Structure 1
Amino acid sequence: MSGPTLFQRLRQTLGRALRETGQALDRVGIKGQSLATTKRIYGDDPVIYEDFLSRHRHQMPLLRRGKPIVSKDVAFLAPCSTLIGSVYIGAGSSVFYKAILRADACENANVFSKSEEDFDQTTLEDHVWQLPENPLPSARGGGIFIGQDTNVQDGCIIDSAKGHTKIGNGVTIGHLASIHSATIEDHCLIGMGSLIQEGALIKQESFIAAGANVGKNTVVESGELWVGNPARKLRDLSVEERQKLHSQANEYVNVASNQRDAMLLGGNIPESLSQYLYPGHETEFEIENVQETEPPAIADEEDRIKA
């Protein structure tokens, strides 16, 4: 067997040089990131160079299936959430950690060629996804439309494989809930771990209890509470309970807004509290304005016994 040619030697040498250069850049990047987020002092552990580089795609555009469109005024999108295909997120809405919104079978993504201003003025009644037939037989699904001030909590799965998924304004979708090609109108609450199947319609100010299974093509009228598997109507919501659905959605807008800068250096922790990010160095700081209060005096023996 003959020896390697000059071209083969050059290719091997160049390849090794590129790999070593990449490893060196990776070490520099990890060191810079580690030093930027910690206060290192003499005697601390050495910088760890072996670190996992996440290549998670937060927003995934698809050819002929559309791309995610997110309002510039969105409250919060968690870095580990996933938006795939024809997904629209309105102003003030939030998608929390490990939630997945998958619209990878939209019949025609041309609907998302409209400007963002047009979508901001679009409501659920406008039927923004009445699309022409796509020649590709594999695409028979729809898109996902989420209105304003709606929160999609941790671990939720929303898809549109059988048709469009339309979620209105001020909707609260609890942890680990699943919604498949359904319509949810304004100011509803979808409980944790519940399942909304294809074709279901949840009208405004309704409450789907945790763990409920709403069957295909089920219609939940406005202001109703549904529970169980299969889900059934339990009762009508009171006026106070309906008002709470509005306030709860508003609270989540505030919670999401507080996490908007979580991925920045220092996160959303104010500078005055930054010392608490570094365990082991608490003695270097002094806590000011701490006032001790004495417990109230007990009036008599009877109060002392009760206490």
Structure 2
Amino acid sequence: MTHQPDIRPYRGKRPQIAASAYIDPAAVIIGDVVIGEDSSVWPCSVVRGDVHYIRIGARTNIQDGSVLHVMRDEWPLILGDDVTVGHSVTLHGCTIESRCLIGMGAVILNGVTIGAGSIVAAGTLITERTAIPAGSLVMGSPGRVKRVLTEIDKASIDAYAKRYVGYKNIYREEPTA
């Protein structure tokens, strides 16, 4: 028996998933969701585009146990290209621009924009309607910009995104039973 991911329509909107993406059989994708090329959604993650839309760019990875949701009629959820969403992250009605790393256990709320090329540290809480400038390191609860990213920081963002494209390729080759 082959295990398939739980991909469900909601009110006539069916998720659109690129052929090169990987959705783990233990993930749940619901409603108005678009997932880009070479992206991945890992075990026990929920991507719920029921009352607004979710857009996930290319080469973006949603790691184990993360929850992505939206705010009805007000806040969609948008993730750019090459975004890493660490384990057990909650993203709700926010925009994460391209080449960002969201650390494990972070919580990012409605109306937040994380500028391109930023890192949100593990365990950070970013409150509603906060705008984080591009190239920032954000930490704390509530999250505050601590400094501008170094070249080493920027390289780590790229390395994580590339690593998860590699993992995705391996998992796509494995038979599911």
**TM-score normalised according to structure 2 size:** 0.93
Q: 1:195 — aligned with what?
A: 107
Q: CA deviation at 1:184?
A: 0.4
Runs of 4+ in 1 over 6 A off after TM superposition: none
| Alignment-derived partner of residue 96 in structure 2 | 184
Q: What is the count of residue pairs matched by the alignment?
A: 174
Q: Which residue of 2 aligns with 1:223?
A: 135
- What SS does the corresponding residue of 2:138 show, helix, strand or coil? strand
CA distance in 1, matches of 2:123, 2:162: 23
- Work out the CA distance in 1 between the residues paired with 2:92 and 2:131: 14
Higher RCO structure, 1 or 2 (CA under 8 Å, sep 6+): 2
Q: For the residues of structure 2 that align with 1:200 and 1:208, how far apart are their CA atoms? A: 12
Matches within 5 A, 1:35-74: 58-64=6-12, 66-74=13-21
- The 1-side partners of 2:92 and 2:157 are apart by 22
Q: Indicate the residue corresponding to 2:41 in structure 1.
A: 95
Q: Which amino acid aligns with 1:95?
A: V
Matching residue's letter, 2:90: S
CA–CA distance in 2 between the matches of 1:183 and 1:228? 19
Q: 2:55 aligns with which of 145, 157, 169?
A: 145
Q: Which amino acid aligns with 2:33?
A: V
Q: What's the counterpart of residue 9 of structure 1?
A: none
Q: CA deviation at 1:233?
A: 1.2
1:212 equivalent in alignment to 2:114: no
Name 1:156's counterpart in structure 2.
66
CA distance in 2, matches of 1:183, 1:62: 22
What is the CA deviation profile of residues 14-63 of structure 1, one whole-angstrom value per residue up to 9, with x for unaligned ones?
xxxxxxxxxxxxxxxxxxx6xxxxxxxxxxxxxxxxxxxx9x86101122
1:256-275 → structure 2 map (5 Å cutoff): 256-264=168-176
Identity %: 32
2:154 maps to which residue? 242
1:173 maps to 2:85: yes
Structure with higher helix content: 1
Amino acid paired to 1:241: D
Higher Cα Rg: structure 1 or 2?
1
Counterparts of 2:157 and 2:67, CA distance in 1: 21
Helix, strand or coil: the match of 1:211? coil
Distance 2:170 2:139 in 1: 32
Q: Give, as a single letter, the amino acid of the residue that structure 1 aligns with 2:35.
A: I
Aligned: 1:80 with 2:26: yes
Contact 1:103 1:161 in 2 (8 A): no
Structure 1 portions without partners, runs of 5+: 1-32, 34-53, 106-141, 266-307
CA RMSD of aligned residues (A): 1.6
Distance in 1 separating the partners of 2:154 and 2:61: 17
Give, in whole Å, the separation in 2 of the partners of 1:216 and 1:207. Answer: 18
CA distance in 2 between counterparts of 1:212 and 1:238 reads 20
Residue 244 of structure 1, CA deviation = 1.9
Give the secondary structure class of the aligned counterpart of 1:169: coil
Counterpart residue number, 1:139 = none
Unmatched runs of 5 consecutive residues or more in structure 2: none
Q: Is the 8 A contact 2:60 2:84 kept in 1?
A: yes
Which is strand-richer, 1 or 2? 2
Alpha-carbon distance in 2 for matches of 1:77, 1:206: 25
